[in-house]
Structure 1
Amino acid sequence: MASASAPFIHASYDCTPRRPRFKRRNGGHGDSSSHSSSSCSSSFEHRRGFSSNFCNSHGLRISSKHSSLRVEAMSTTQGNVATHEGVAKLKDEPDHLLVLVHGILASPSDWIYAEAELKKSLGNKFLIYASSSNTYTKTFTGIDGAGKRLADEVMQVVQRTESLKRISFLAHSLGGLFARYAISVLYSSNLLVNYQPDLADSRNENPENSACSSTQGTVAGLEPINFITLATPHLGVRGRKQLPLLLGVPILEKLAPSIATFFVGDTGRQLFLTDGKPSRPPLLLRMASDCEEGKFISALAAFRCRMVYANVSYDHMVGWRTSSIRREAELVKPPQRSLDGYKHVVDVEYDLPVSSDGPHFRLEAAKAKEAAQNAPDTQNTVEYHDIVEEEMIRGLQRVGWKKVDVNFRSAFWPFFAHNNIHVKNEWLYNAGTGVVAHVADSLKQQESSTLFTASL
Structure 2
Amino acid sequence: MLVVKRREHTLKKISFLAHSLGGLIARYALALLYSDDLVAASATTNIKQKGLIAGLEPINFITLATPHLGVRGKKQLPFLFGVPILEKLAAPIASFVVGQTGRQLFLTDGKPNKPPLLLRMASDSDDGNFISALSAFKCRVLYANVSYDHMVGWRTSSIRRETELCKPPRRSLDGYKHVVDMEYCPAVPSQNAPSMQNTLEYHEIMEEEMIRGLQQVSWKKVDVSFHSAFWPFLAHNNIHVKNEWFHNAGAGVITHVADHIKQQEKQQERPLFITASL
For the pair shown, the structure with the greater C-alpha radius of gyration is 1
Gap runs ≥5 in structure 2:
271-278
Determine whether 1:319 maps to 2:153: yes
Residue 109 of structure 2 aligns with which residue? 275
Residue 402 of structure 1 aligns with which residue? 220
Distance 1:193 1:359 in 2: 36
Taking structure 1 as reference, are residues 315 and 267 closer, same or farther at Cα in structure 2, changes over 3 Å only?
same
Distance 2:137 2:192 in 1: 19
What TM-score does the superposition give when structure 2 sets the normalisation length?
0.90
Map Cα deviations across residues 388-439 of structure 1 (whole Å, 9 max, x no partner).
1110000000000000000000000001100000001011111001001111
Distance 1:223 1:306 in 2: 14
Determine whether 1:261 maps to 2:107: no
Residue 252 of structure 1 aligns with which residue? 86
Map Cα deviations across residues 181-237 of structure 1 (whole Å, 9 max, x no partner).
001000000011128xxxxxxxxxxxxxxxxx9951100000000000000000000
Taking structure 1 as reference, are residues 214 and 321 closer, same or farther at Cα in structure 2, changes over 3 Å only?
farther
Map Cα deviations across residues 117-168 of structure 1 (whole Å, 9 max, x no partner).
xxxxxxxxxxxxxxxxxxxxxxxxxxxxxxxxxxxxxx11111123111000
The residue matched to 1:189 in structure 2 has which SS? strand
The residue matched to 1:425 in structure 2 has which SS? coil
Residue 40 of structure 2 aligns with which residue? 193
Map Cα deviations across residues 98-130 of structure 1 (whole Å, 9 max, x no partner).
xxxxxxxxxxxxxxxxxxxxxxxxxxxxxxxxx
Determine whether 1:158 maps to 2:8: no
Distance 2:113 2:165 in 1: 32
Q: CA deviation at 1:279?
A: 3.9
Aligned AA (1:441): D
Taking structure 1 as reference, are residues 418 and 448 closer, same or farther at Cα in structure 2, changes over 3 Å only?
same
CA RMSD of aligned residues (A): 2.2
Aligned AA (1:356): S
- Check conservation: 1:214, 1:301, Cα contact below 8 A: no
Residue 242 of structure 2 aligns with which residue? 424
What TM-score does the superposition give when structure 1 sets the normalisation length?
0.56
Aligned AA (2:209): E
Taking structure 1 as reference, are residues 313 and 358 closer, same or farther at Cα in structure 2, changes over 3 Å only?
same
Question: Kindly, what percent of the aligned residue pairs are identical?
Answer: 71
Aligned AA (1:427): W
Alignment length, in residue pairs? 265
Q: CA deviation at 1:258?
A: 2.1
Distance 1:318 1:233 in 2: 6
- Check conservation: 2:40, 2:49, Cα contact below 8 A: no
Distance 1:414 1:176 in 2: 22
Residue 254 of structure 2 aligns with which residue? 436
Distance 1:221 1:246 in 2: 42
Taking structure 1 as reference, are residues 345 and 290 closer, same or farther at Cα in structure 2, changes over 3 Å only?
same
Gap runs ≥5 in structure 1:
1-154, 196-212, 369-378
Q: CA deviation at 1:357?
A: 4.7
Aligned AA (1:302): A
- Check conservation: 1:189, 1:217, Cα contact below 8 A: yes
